[in-house]
Chain A
Amino acid sequence: MAEASKAPATCGPDTHDIYLRAKGLKIGYRNEVVVQDISFDLIKGEAIALIGTNGSGKSTLLKTIVGLLAPIGGDLSVFGTPPGNNHRRMAYLGQFHNSGFVLPIRAVDVVRMGRYPLHGLWQPMGRGDEEIVVRAMRTMGIEGLADASLRSLSGGQQQRVYLAQVLAHQADLLILDEPTTGLDAGGRELYLNAINDELCRGASVIMATHDIQEEAAICHQVMLLAHRVVAIGEPDKVLTPEALLETFGVVIAGENRIHVLECKHGHDDHERKELNRKNNP
């Protein structure tokens, strides 16, 4: 399983089934345009990573896809329909900002919420649902925490619970905003394996991430965002020093590696990113 996480999913995407199609899409809040002219297709079984600094438009794009924000211009279709019409087929993980108060709720209840879109208001949940919930928790290595209250868990454990909730949905399209925030090495490996399994199941994934080395590497496509689409395509072709420089600011090319120094807007702190370069030293 650990090996599988290093390479793209072995089960190939299905080019006949387009889950997500953007053409000249313009996104933003009300009248403030964040990114314009976004065009891409995401087909069944395919994963795409959005890479860019904070505020580059990753979250805005994801929120537009799930229907929380209306597109400002251009075309966007999700499963062939306008966004916001496919609750049963989409699972969304936003960026949580638990400020102080955390619900009195057990981990397992949070994961169960992942089944709500499939059952609506009243349709009861069955044994099949419970099995899926248990399996999702096992996938994220938190089956032992089912009865623990959410607020007794660490940030990383909570993130695992939220990821298990997304997995429990068994959606056709997973929309993940910085899904590995707070995860330790073990959690990240479980996450990468889980995404691989989801892709093999035929689901598609679109994720915003800062991790070029591992998370972007399992994706079929990478989109570099810096208030505009800097580049989009296969990871090996897109993740060039030039494109990364344009996206992040500073890049230091070493012998087999590229170090990216990420400049956050308005801050001096630099976040170091590394990238394995096998083909192009």
Chain B
Amino acid sequence: MDIFITPFAANGFMMQALIAGILVSIACAIAGTFVILRGLAFIGDAMAHGVLPGIALAVLFGFSGIIGAAIGAVFMIGGITLITERSRLSSDTAIGLLFIGMLSLGVVIVSRSTSFSGDLTRILFGEILGISRSAIWLQLGATIIVAATAFMCARPFLLLSFDPEQAEVAGFSVRLFHNIMLFMIAAVVIVSFQTVGTLLVFGLLIAPAGAGALLARRIQAMMAWAALFGILSMYIGLLISYHFNLAAGASIILVAVSIFFIVFVIQNLRKNNLSENIGGRHGRGI
């Protein structure tokens, strides 16, 4: 049992990492569920990378990375909204270029810094093992805000996921609630980048919620599964990184992605068995 508990019990930094990880997992589970239901994976990805220049500026000029990320996110939301409304055919192309442009801009800005590669690695992959107490408080606040937003907007968010036209006709402004959803995703990205980094936060947003989508019959259940898988990934990832001296952020995401594919394969096997049984009943074997 020691190898499962001692790393956290004996090391303050491991315990703090786990607490931060759990909070991030819950926020990502809630936001990630809607990212998947609304098919916003690409926009979520763009958002996660688009905040880089803001953080880079923060590193260069020595202000809070959170504020830098927030600036980057506001810029990205503005850009994405503009592109989605103006271009009818190729919004994915334009958004893709926007996020690659932002990523490059971020790297260019960081390259002015004296400790270039160290800063860049920290931004891209996070530093969960060096998380501060104040960062944990901030994450707690953000997680509560994200949960409250999802709770208060439950009806329009559900209608939006079901059919945006239906939401509009029911009296919920698609534009307003879509933007609220984007800000919710941005908030998660902003407070999560310290934990797993801008490159990997997307994995935490998508993988646990994706696995949840495969299992759940209800959206609440999907969120619960997502939170469970996220927390499990945090715990297992931290443990692996501790015992084998591996990069923590990447280990966590690797576990999360593995869980997704394990669930994916199991679900597919079960489905195949099911259809074989049905085929057999109707006398339509091979």
Contacts and interface: CB of A to CB of B under 8 A. Distances in A.
Contacts of A116: 155, 159, 170, 172
Contacts of A106: 217-218
A94 B165 contact: yes
A90 B155 CA distance: 18
Interface string B160-172: 0111011011111
A103 B161 contact: yes
A244 interface: no
Contacts of A101: 39
A68 B162 contact: no
Interface residues of B, number: 25
B59 interface: no
B218 A94 contact: no
Q: How large is the interface on A (under 10, 10 to 19, 20 to 34, 35 or more residues)?
A: 20 to 34
B165 A68 contact: yes
Given A116-B155, A121-B153, A122-B152, A105 B162 contact: yes
B216 interface: yes
Nearest to B39: A101
A120 B219 contact: no
Nearest to B171: A87
B191 interface: no
Interface in A104-137: 104-106, 109-110, 113, 116-117, 119-122
Given A103-B37, A121-B152, A94 B171 contact: no
Nearest to B216: A104
10 contacts: A63-B165, A66-B169, A67-B169, A68-B165, A90-B169, A94-B163, A104-B218, A105-B219, A106-B217, A149-B217
The 5 closest A-B pairs by CB, nearest first: A87-B171, A149-B217, A117-B170, A92-B169, A104-B216
Given A103-B37, A104-B222, 4 more contacts: A103-B161, A104-B218, A117-B169, A117-B171
